[in-house]
Amino acid sequence: MSATSFLDSIRWTAEGLVPAIAQDAASGRILMMAWMNREALSLTVSRGEAVYWSRSRNQLWHKGETSGHTQVVSEIRLDCDADVVVLQVQQQGGMACHTGRESCFYRVLRDGEWVAVDPVIKDPREIYG
């Protein structure tokens, strides 16, 4: 299958994006969700490291370019509706979240309140300055 055909198989949003879920390849834990455009997914495939599209910055974002916490991609899956991708990754540095936690999904709903249940592995000020 050519590079063009796999990109053409995806049902992109009107903005040309697809949701991308990063999952720890070893543990199965969901680490984060981000967006990809065609270029981001193509670069992810060619580099073997996750590249996303930052909607807030309106630019490509190589995960870990600032923090050093890159995501080495071992597998990419497409869901049955062809509108969500899942990246099986090896998270370098042990943290995917800009808050210094392993996962961006560190809050649990308890009695109507969101409670942070995962520890901060490293203070974000030490990571980003």
| Rounded average pLDDT over 49-75 | 95
Task: Judge whether residue 13 has pLDDT over 70.
Answer: yes
Task: Provide the mean pLDDT of the chain.
Answer: 94
pLDDT of residue 3: 53
Cα dihedral sign for 51, 53, 54, 57? positive
A 10 A CB-CB count for 66 gives 12
Across 19-43, average pLDDT: 98
CA gap 48, 123 in Å, rounded? 28
Q: Single out the residue of 81, 77, 1 nearest to residue 44, CA to CA.
A: 77
Structure confidence at residue 1 (pLDDT): 46
Q: Residue 128's pLDDT is what?
A: 81
Per-residue confidence band for 4, with pLDDT thresholds at 50, 70 and 90: low
Q: Domains along the chain? A: 3-128 (3.10.20.810)
pLDDT in tens, 67-121: 899 999 999 999 999 999 999 999 999 999 999 999 999 999 999 999 999 999 9
